[in-house]
């Protein structure tokens, strides 16, 4: 990936926890299992979603279940959920129904994952490290609601809370993007290098976030 200069975090020694900034080559580090530590994505989504794509990079040696990306509404805590129950499997929820994708067990490797869903067909597309998997279907005709509470590193069992330490993420997360459209494999690869061509709802180059608890933004 192209190397960016690390973004200065406010004054010397002062950690900015609320921001809307280009995170460049920075990563969120989740240092240990926790019932509270997470990153809130503070984007305000105006319209319900009939199409969506989520991409992110993660780096961990966990083998227990953990949540990467959790999007909850008041009605539905698993409105969108990207979850890894064990090495070699990703689960993707829409409206509390989920699909599983089997993947190689790459412990010790950074994994870039993208998943997209379209309501009109229910088709879910999944990419690992830029490679598309066979497509599957889920929740045809469904609409993903707003407003949403969007969280990295914890699984919401209620709007903005209900976390379980045993499903918390430990490791590093970066290059987080969400679009309100489906994307091509070309766009997935561009997002992997933080150079997307389509404007996302939010993305790593202009990321709206708030750190809650023990999470650190590091080069």
Task: Kindly report the number of other CB atoms within 10 A of residue 185's CB atom.
Answer: 13
- Report how many helices (DSSP H) and strands (DSSP E) the chain contains, helices first: 1, 16
Domains delineated in the chain: 18-218 (2.60.120.200)
Instruction: Provide the pLDDT for residue 21.
Output: 80
Does a cis peptide bond (omega within 30 degrees of 0) precede residue 136?
A: no
Q: Do residues 132 and 185 touch, judged by C-beta distance below 8 A?
A: yes
Low-confidence ranges of the chain (pLDDT < 50): 1-17
Spatial neighbors of 85 by CB under 8 A, at least 6 apart, are 65, 91, 100
pLDDT recorded at residue 12? 35
Residue among 55, 119, 66 nearest 89 (CA) = 66
pLDDT at position 97 is: 97
Is the entire prediction scored with pTM above 0.75? yes
214, 38 contact by CB (below 8 A): no
């Amino acid at each position: 990936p192209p190397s960016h200069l690390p973004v200065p975090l406010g004054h010397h020694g002062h950690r900015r926890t609320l921001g809307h900034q280009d995170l460049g080559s920075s990563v969120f580090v989740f240092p240990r299992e926790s019932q509270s530590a997470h990153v809130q994505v503070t984007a305000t989504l105006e319209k319900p979603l009939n199409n969506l794509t989520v991409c992110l990079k993660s780096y961990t040696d966990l083998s227990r279940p953990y949540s990467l990306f959790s999007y909850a509404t008041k009605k539905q805590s698993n409105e969108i959920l990207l979850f890894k129950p064990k090495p070699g499997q990703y689960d993707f929820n829409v409206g509390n129904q989920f699909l599983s994708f089997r993947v190689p067990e790459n412990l010790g490797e950074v994994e870039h994952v993208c998943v997209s869903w379209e309501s009109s067909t229910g088709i879910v597309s999944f990419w690992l490290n830029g490679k598309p998997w066979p497509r599957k279907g889920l929740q045809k005709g469904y609409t993903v609601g707003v407003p949403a509470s969007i969280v990295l590193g914890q699984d919401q069992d209620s709007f903005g809370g209900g976390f379980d330490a045993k499903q918390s993420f430990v490791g590093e997360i970066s290059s987080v993007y969400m679009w309100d459209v489906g994307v091509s494999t070309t766009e997935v690869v561009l997002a992997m290098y933080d150079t997307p061509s389509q404007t996302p709802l939010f993305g790593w180059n202009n990321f709206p976030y708030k750190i809650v608890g023990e999470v650190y933004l590091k080069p």
